[in-house]
Structure 1
Amino acid sequence: MSDAQLTARSLELLLGAWRTSAAGYQALADRIRLLVLDGRIPIGTRLPAERDLAGRLELSRTTVAAAYRQLREAGFVDSVRGSGSVARLPGRTLPLPAIGGEGMLDFTKACLPAASPLAAAARAAAEELPCFLSEPGYDPVGLPHLRAEIAERYTRRGLPTTPDQILVTVGAQQAIALIARTFLQRGDRVVIEVPTYPHAIEAIRLAGARLVPITVSAPEEGPHRLGEQNDGWDADAIEQTFRRANPALAYLIPDFHNPTGATMSPETRERVLAAAAGHGAIVVADETTAELDIDRVGEYLPMPRYADATSPGAPIIMIGSASKTLWGGLRIGWIRAERSHIQRLIGAKPATDLGTPIIEQLVVARMLPQLDEIVEERREQLRLGRETVHRLVAERFPDWSVPVQHGGLTAWVGIGAPVSSALALAARSHGLLIAAGPRFGIDGAFERFVRIPMTYTPEEYERAFTALAGAWAVAANEPVPYFDQAALPSVV
């Protein structure tokens, strides 16, 4: 059981605008249930005493006691002698459609279908595979010719790179976890954007680090070009955060940020790197979505002055992936860093992985020389997705707001009311899986947002928005049924 205890004030902040037309105790119980299901009240956390919570919420103690009693009866709270009321998950829950089951549309995955050259590349890789069968097959570093292709792409973008500065990983997620485990010690502070990619939060927490949030907002409306003002980051606040927290590392998504779609301007990048350098922090730049532009055809943001052996500044570790541009089923990622950092990462990698699949590396190595053409194909797919999302939001939900995004895979949609978790839960019964806004935060915030991928077909969007319309009526007016947290899908 967790030793965590939730104060009445903390629970009040998590509850937000919880009062509905339902009876007071019912609305309170429903909201606490959602917080437990969403993970914002961790299992094993001791809830506030009835008297304390009643005083904080200006309710009668009888109302709070009735809410706790309903939670106990539903299996969301245990009464433990000496510990009060402790959050838990019920052993049995209401039946729900299986994730990815027949008829379910999964919008928790912001990913495109396989790039058109993949099938041919896979056949050619299979023919090439026999050349490697006499070897053990355990490849902890990456095939030399694949590392050379990756290094050459960085060089063409303006960052001279050699193959020994590249480490191939099993997807970008392994890269994030490996960096956290290698360069962080328990108790270290890590600057991280909010909202951000949720599995990065999990990997950094598993390394024992303490999260220090900085805010990134969706791009503002207006005619400004990509990378100019209003980029979504507050450079002054970031500099203050580095001075106050003295972090060991910063994890950032500077290009087509997940989930907001924002892109950091060159000026902000330089200020972030200078702030990190002043405090000896490593900057981890997650570039998994960096090449998925829609509007900047032929226009790349200048590479910042990334530190290497000949230039002073903050150490930079860059993460890339084939999964976003080529296909999610190709679990190939990579890390670009200075040689000394790559050597440390190579030494740490066998603790969780003895080798990256050879056949998938061969496929990616054959596709990277075609990446410019593939990106053009992706641009058209994403442009259509963006236009369809904007159109359907305007038609079905005129009070919602969709930000400007010049690329990336997702739209960070403002829904105008703090009911994102309820909307995501209700959508399941209408055949749609979608990621609620708080899934991308660290403190239960972002209930007024929902992430909508830009990667589906117009027909799939019609189905999804019909489901959202049905779910919206439920989320705005009625409590939603609970479900097994183990059935929550991963967010990609």
Structure 2
Amino acid sequence: MSDEAVRTMSAAGLATLLGGMSGSGQPLYRELADALRRRVGEGSLTVGVRLPAERALAEELRLSRVTVSAAYRELREAGWASARHGSGTYVSMPSGPLAWGSMVGAPVDGAIDLVNAAPAAAPELRDAYLEAVDELPRFLPQHGYHPGGLTTLRAAIADHYSRRGRPTTPDQILVTGGAGDATEVVLEALVQTGDRVLVEHPTYPGAVESVQAAGGRPVPVPIDATNPDAFVAEVDRAARQSAPTVAYLMPDFSNPSGARATADGRRRLAATLARHGVVTVVDEVAAELVLDDSGCHEPFGVPVPESVTVAIGSLSKTVWGGIRIGWVRAEAARTTQLAKIMARRQLSVSVLDQLAAVRLFARHDELVGRRRRELRGQRDALAAVVAERLPGWSFHLPSGGLSLWCRLPTGTGSSELVAAARARNLLLAPGPRFGTGHLFDDHQRLPFTRPVTELTAAVDVLATLVMSGGPPVSSATTLVV
């Protein structure tokens, strides 16, 4: 079967996907266009797929061809479809970045900041820096640049992977200025302009921004925390339809959904992506934040060749976001390639931070154990108070990670809720921030990375808004219905 045939959606298949017209009262062409936009936004209709011919779809939906033609035209004008002369109409995404820019801002005095799922510093951090300062003098006579990272830190990270079940040597590690820096370097190396990149949907906003910055086109693939292994089939379908070159995934406690691939599911997912020739960029920043008794799974990519998996990690969630230490783990040849890109961006990561990181890895089990206990207590407290004070809010309790992904009651929009909460010194990230289009205004992320007193106070603010009538229904829910 040709690639073109694989990438075509049949009229019958699309009709099944749409599920029939709802009779919303708006013109039929607009209802059809909205339904198609919604399927693209949620990831069930992927970018690059050729839509069925107007006549065939009209017959299947029992609509006039004029109605279908008008719907396709509206999609093209809004950037959700593109026409290729003599070939047909293809699913697209509106041009230009859809992300809203970084959520990270300076701390605001007197505000409860739940925008960022980032915990306070681990108590081990201070001593690690004091010890690093004592060692620093032996480096001061040198020029201070260590491209790729200090040998001792690369060895510590490699040993950490080996103990997790992924044998690794120091030459497979590249030290970066945090996971975000690692992501930018990797995507610059792997993504060419116009390449399609699979991303979970919802996903970490920085991932979408990094894909777009590299010239790639995000292809959203729906993920469900209650059935995480269903993601394997979704990825297989999206890969057949969109021919991606790269995938950016968080198999362990995905941000924001909290989804975690099972031991079997992660192996099948790695094999599926390898079979399609896709290089998987694996974000492992939350991989060790296991909050139940399931334990850590093997690192993603163990059963497939080294060349098709690139792992990214950092100390931001286990230790503190203020220590800008991240890394890339890949085959040695790729790490060498990445090091050249890294050197062009910055000659070296701070020597003092790297020396502190070596000491933190020596205390890894202690600090991760403390972080898990802390987050477990905060997760359980937040879940209890949300269930008590916010009727109609629902969530899947994650077995690890950093946040609850809450579905809001009908009639409540996250965008307006966030705006109303900000006026009461509660800072939150709106649900659509975690999508590639305009979806998820019916969801709200609530990180449990702050002390229980702050989490309780945050829910009190939200409960007050609900009791007072709440924010108006978000206009975002009507943009793509």
TM-score, with length taken from structure 1: 0.73
Alpha-carbon shift at residue 140 of structure 1 (Å): 2.3
1:171 has 2:178 as partner = yes
1:269 has 2:266 as partner = yes
Distance in 2 of aligned mates of 1:392 and 1:181? 43
The 8 Å contact of residues 438 and 445 in structure 1, kept in 2 or not, is answered as: yes
The 8 Å contact of residues 441 and 474 in structure 2, kept in 1 or not, is answered as: no
Alpha-carbon shift at residue 385 of structure 1 (Å): 0.8
1:416: which partner in 2? 409
Distance change >3 Å, CA 146–CA 475, structure 1 → 2: farther
1:254: which partner in 2? 251
1:440: which partner in 2? 434
1:378: which partner in 2? 371
Q: Which amino acid aligns with 1:350?
A: A
1:427 has 2:421 as partner = yes
The 8 Å contact of residues 427 and 433 in structure 1, kept in 2 or not, is answered as: yes
1:203 has 2:210 as partner = yes
Alpha-carbon shift at residue 375 of structure 1 (Å): 1.2
Structure 1 segments unaligned to the other structure (5+ residues) = 1-6, 17-54, 57-86, 88-97, 221-229, 482-492
Distance change >3 Å, CA 372–CA 475, structure 1 → 2: farther
Distance in 2 of aligned mates of 1:474 and 1:446? 23
Alpha-carbon shift at residue 339 of structure 1 (Å): 0.7
2:452: which partner in 1? 458
Q: List per-residue Cα deviations over 1:340-367 (Å, max 9, x = no partner).
A: 1101101111232221011111111101
Alpha-carbon shift at residue 166 of structure 1 (Å): 0.2
Distance in 2 of aligned mates of 1:133 and 1:233? 53
Q: List per-residue Cα deviations over 1:377-400 (Å, max 9, x = no partner).
A: 011111111111111111111211
Distance in 2 of aligned mates of 1:475 and 1:321? 42
Distance in 2 of aligned mates of 1:193 and 1:315? 18
Q: Pick from 117, 127, 138: which aligns with 1:110? A: 117
1:294: which partner in 2? 291
Distance in 2 of aligned mates of 1:313 and 1:164? 13
Q: List per-residue Cα deviations over 1:260-304 (Å, max 9, x = no partner).
A: 11111122222222222222211111000001111136x322345
The 8 Å contact of residues 306 and 330 in structure 2, kept in 1 or not, is answered as: no
Alpha-carbon shift at residue 461 of structure 1 (Å): 1.4
Alpha-carbon shift at residue 162 of structure 1 (Å): 0.2
Q: Secondary structure at the match of 2:421?
A: helix
Q: Pick from 148, 152, 155: which aligns with 1:148? A: 155
1:364: which partner in 2? 357
1:183: which partner in 2? 190
More displaced 10-residue stretch of structure 1: 239-248 or 328-337? 239-248
1:138 has 2:132 as partner = no
The 8 Å contact of residues 139 and 355 in structure 1, kept in 2 or not, is answered as: yes
Alpha-carbon shift at residue 234 of structure 1 (Å): 2.6
TM-score, with length taken from structure 2: 0.75
Distance in 2 of aligned mates of 1:329 and 1:187? 34
1:279 has 2:286 as partner = no
Q: Pick from 387, 396, 400: which aligns with 1:403? A: 396
The 8 Å contact of residues 392 and 465 in structure 1, kept in 2 or not, is answered as: yes
Q: Which amino acid aligns with 1:364?
A: A
Alpha-carbon shift at residue 332 of structure 1 (Å): 0.4
Q: Pick from 291, 302, 308: which aligns with 1:306? A: 302
1:347: which partner in 2? 340
| Identity within the alignment, % | 39
2:168: which partner in 1? 161
RMSD (Å), alpha carbons: 2.7
Distance change >3 Å, CA 456–CA 472, structure 1 → 2: same
Q: Secondary structure at the match of 2:359?
A: helix
Q: Which amino acid aligns with 2:450?
A: Y
1:388 has 2:381 as partner = yes
The 8 Å contact of residues 171 and 331 in structure 1, kept in 2 or not, is answered as: yes
1:328 has 2:321 as partner = yes
Alpha-carbon shift at residue 8 of structure 1 (Å): 6.8
Distance change >3 Å, CA 157–CA 479, structure 1 → 2: closer
Q: Pick from 122, 128, 144: which aligns with 1:121? A: 128
Q: Secondary structure at the match of 1:106?
A: strand
The 8 Å contact of residues 191 and 249 in structure 1, kept in 2 or not, is answered as: yes
Q: Which amino acid aligns with 2:366?
A: E
Q: Secondary structure at the match of 1:387?
A: helix
Structure 2 segments unaligned to the other structure (5+ residues) = 1-28, 39-69, 72-95, 97-104, 476-481
Distance in 2 of aligned mates of 1:198 and 1:437? 11
Q: Secondary structure at the match of 1:394?
A: helix
Distance change >3 Å, CA 213–CA 346, structure 1 → 2: same
Distance change >3 Å, CA 10–CA 121, structure 1 → 2: farther
2:223: which partner in 1? 216
Alpha-carbon shift at residue 306 of structure 1 (Å): 2.8
Q: Which amino acid aligns with 2:463?
A: A
The 8 Å contact of residues 190 and 210 in structure 1, kept in 2 or not, is answered as: yes
Distance in 2 of aligned mates of 1:480 and 1:244? 33
Q: Secondary structure at the match of 2:363?
A: helix
The 8 Å contact of residues 413 and 471 in structure 2, kept in 1 or not, is answered as: no
Q: List per-residue Cα deviations over 1:430-479 (Å, max 9, x = no partner).
A: 11000111111001111111111111112111221122123345784548
The 8 Å contact of residues 242 and 275 in structure 1, kept in 2 or not, is answered as: no
